A and B are shown apart, each in its own frame.
Chain A
Amino acid sequence: MDEALDVRWFDPNRINLLVGLSLFILFLFVNLRRARRAPSGLYIRTLPALQALDEAIGRATEMGRPVLYLPGLGDMSEVGTLAAVTISSRVARRVADMGCGLLVPCYDPVVAVLIDSATREAYTQAGRLDSYRSGTVQYVAAAQFAYVAAVTGLMLRERPAANVYMGSWYAESLFLAETGNETGAIQIAGCDQVTQLPFFVCSCDYTLLGEELYAASAYLGREPVQLATITAQDWAKILAAIVVVAAVVATFFGYTDIDKLLKTS
C-alpha cells in the first residue's frame, strides 16, 4: 500500500466543526420537539420582501403579465440554489392559485429539470395542471453572458410584472436587476453572495440579505417544523456571537490559544 495514503478514520483538526454541527443538530431536534408540542409557539419576524411576493404576483395577475423567476447561476452543489429550488415551488403554487403566467429561464440544466418537476407538482396541487405550459421552465444557456442576453431579451419582450431573483448570483446580477428596473417590474431578490448584495439593494424593491434567502422557504410555507429550523439557526447564531465575544475577551487578556481551537483545516 502507498504510504502516502491517509488511513485515519477521523480528522482531529475538524473536531471543532463536529462539535458545532452536533450542537446545531441538537438545537434543531429541541426546536422540532417544541414545534410539535406548541405549533403556534415559534415566532418568525416579518420579512417585507416575502410579504411583497403576494402583492407582486397579484399585480402580475391584474396586469395580465407573467412573473419571471430566476434561480441564479449556481448548480445543485450550492445551498443558495437548493433554497432557490424550494422557493420556486412555493412561488409556482401561488402563481398557479392566482392564475397568472410564469417564466423560469435556467442557467443549469439540472436545476431546470428539478424546478420543472417542482413547478408541475405545484400546479397539480393547485388543481391547475391544465394551465401549466410546456416551456414555462426552460434551460437557456450554461454561459454567463449568453444567459444574461437571453434573460434581458425576455424581460424586454415579455415585460414581466414581477421579477424574482433567488439563489447564487455573480457579475450578471446587476445586468438583470437594472434591466428589470427599466421595465418597471416589481423586483424581489434573495442572494447569499455578499459581493452581489449591494447591486440587488440598489436595483430591486426588496432584497433578502444572506441567510434570509434560506429562511424564505420556511417563511412562505409557515409549517411549524420548518420554522423550527429557523429558531435552531437563531440559537446557533447566539452561540456563535457568544464564542466570538469570548474569543475577543480571551485574546485581550492574553489567552491567544483560543484561536487554535476555532481554526480548522
Chain B
Amino acid sequence: MRQGPFVLTFLVGAMLIAIFFIPHYRAQQVQTQLLDWANIVYAFALALGSISLLVLHGNKVRAGGSQAKYSFVTVAALVVITVAGVVQGVEEGTLVNRIYNAVNAPLASTMFALLAFFIASAAFRAFRARNTEATLLLATALIMMFGRVSIGEFVWSGFPPLTEWLLDVPNLAAKRGVAIGVGLGAVATALKIILGIDRSYMGKA
C-alpha cells in the first residue's frame, strides 16, 4: 500500500550514499540538485506551517479568553512581517530589517543572557553532594572553576595544568566514546530508514 514512499526513500538514500564515494562532477551536480529540491520542499512546508500557525492562533483570538492576547500578538507579528517583507524586501533600512534589529535581536540577546542564571540553578541542583557521583562532579567543577580564573593559579599553581588534564584526558575520552557511539548509531538509523526497517516516519507505529 505504502510502497511508493519506501521505494523513493530507498532510491534517494542509496544514491546519496553512492555519491558520497563518487567525486565525479556529474554525481556532485546530482547531489547539488537534490539539495536544491530539499529547499523547495522546505519552502512549501514553511508556507504550510505558517498557514497552520495563522489558523490556530486566529481561532484562539476568535475564541477569546485570557490567552487570546498572546495569539493576537503572534498573528499580528506574522502578518506585519510577511506583508512588509513581500512589499519592501528585507534589505537594510526596510521595515522588516528595522523590526529585526530593534525587536528581534535585543529579545534574542536578552533570552541568551538569561542562560547564565539557568546554568547557575542547574549547577546548584547537580552539584549538591548527595552521593559519590555528585560529589565527584562537585569536586571536578570546583577544580575547573579554580583552573579557569586567575585567582586559581594564585591559590595553587597546579590548578591550571590539572584543569587541562581533566579536559584532555577523562573528558575527551568520554566525549570520544559518545561520539563513536553517535556515529555508529547515525549510520544504523540511516540504514534502518533507507532499507525500510523503520517506517515510523510514515506513521507505521
* Chain B neighbourhood of A232, CB < 8 A: 188
Give A1-37 as 1s and 0s: 1 = Cβ < 8 Å from B's Cβ atoms.
Answer: 0000111111100100110010011001000100000
Is A138 located at the chain interface by the 8 A CB criterion? yes
Whether the Cβ atoms of A175 and B41 lie closer than 8 Å is no
The residue that A138 contacts in the complex, of B20, B52, B193, with Cβ under 8 A, is B52
* Chain B neighbourhood of A240, CB < 8 A: 180, 184
Give B23-42 as 1s and 0s: 1 = Cβ < 8 Å from A's Cβ atoms.
Answer: 11100100000000010011
User: How far does the Cβ of B122 sit from chain A's closest Cβ, in whole Å?
Assistant: 4
Is A127 located at the chain interface by the 8 A CB criterion? no
Whether the Cβ atoms of B22 and A9 lie closer than 8 Å is yes
Whether the Cβ atoms of B192 and A226 lie closer than 8 Å is yes
A175 and B21 in contact (CB under 8 A), knowing A138-B52, A214-B186? no
Compute how far the CA of A211 lies from the CA of B125 in the bound complex, rounded to whole angstroms. 26
Whether the Cβ atoms of B185 and A109 lie closer than 8 Å is no
Is A53 located at the chain interface by the 8 A CB criterion? no
* Chain A neighbourhood of B185, CB < 8 A: 79, 192, 210-211, 213-215, 233
Whether the Cβ atoms of A90 and B205 lie closer than 8 Å is yes
Within residues 87 to 120 of chain A, which ones have a CB less than 8 A from any CB in chain B? 87, 89-90, 92-93, 106, 108-110, 112-114, 117-118, 120
Is B84 located at the chain interface by the 8 A CB criterion? no
* Chain B neighbourhood of A209, CB < 8 A: 178
Interface with A: B90-98, B148-156, B161-169, B194-202, which one?
B194-202
User: How far does the Cβ of B100 sit from chain A's closest Cβ, in whole Å?
Assistant: 10
* Chain A neighbourhood of B67, CB < 8 A: 157
Whether the Cβ atoms of B123 and A202 lie closer than 8 Å is yes
* Chain B neighbourhood of A83, CB < 8 A: 189
Is A61 located at the chain interface by the 8 A CB criterion? no
Q: How many A-B residue pairs have CB under 8 A?
A: 201
Which of A83, A92, A93, A232 counts the most B-chain CB atoms under 10 A from its CB? A83
The residue that B111 contacts in the complex, of A77, A145, A192, A237, with Cβ under 8 A, is A145
* Chain B neighbourhood of A221, CB < 8 A: 200, 205
Whether the Cβ atoms of A6 and B42 lie closer than 8 Å is no
The residue that B198 contacts in the complex, of A28, A122, A217, with Cβ under 8 A, is A217
Is A184 located at the chain interface by the 8 A CB criterion? no
Whether the Cβ atoms of B204 and A89 lie closer than 8 Å is yes
Q: Which 6 A-B pairs have the closest CB atoms?
A: A121-B203, A139-B49, A211-B185, A109-B49, A214-B185, A86-B200
- Which of B's residues lie within 8 Å of A, judged by CB? 17, 20-25, 28, 38, 41-42, 45-46, 48-50, 52-53, 56, 67, 70, 104, 107-108, 111-112, 114-115, 118-119, 121-123, 125-126, 175, 178-182, 184-193, 195, 197-198, 200-205
- Which of A's residues lie within 8 Å of B, judged by CB? 5-11, 14, 17-18, 21, 24-25, 28, 32, 75, 77, 79, 82-83, 85-87, 89-90, 92-93, 106, 108-110, 112-114, 117-118, 120-122, 124-125, 134-135, 138-140, 142-146, 148-149, 153, 157, 171, 174-175, 177-178, 181, 192, 194, 197, 199, 201-203, 209-211, 213-215, 217-218, 221, 225-226, 229-230, 232-233, 236-237, 240
Instruction: Give 19 pairs: A residue, B residue, CB < 8 Å, sorted on A.
Output: A5-B25, A8-B23, A83-B189, A106-B49, A109-B42, A110-B42, A113-B48, A145-B111, A149-B111, A174-B118, A175-B114, A178-B118, A199-B122, A214-B182, A214-B188, A214-B189, A217-B200, A218-B198, A240-B180
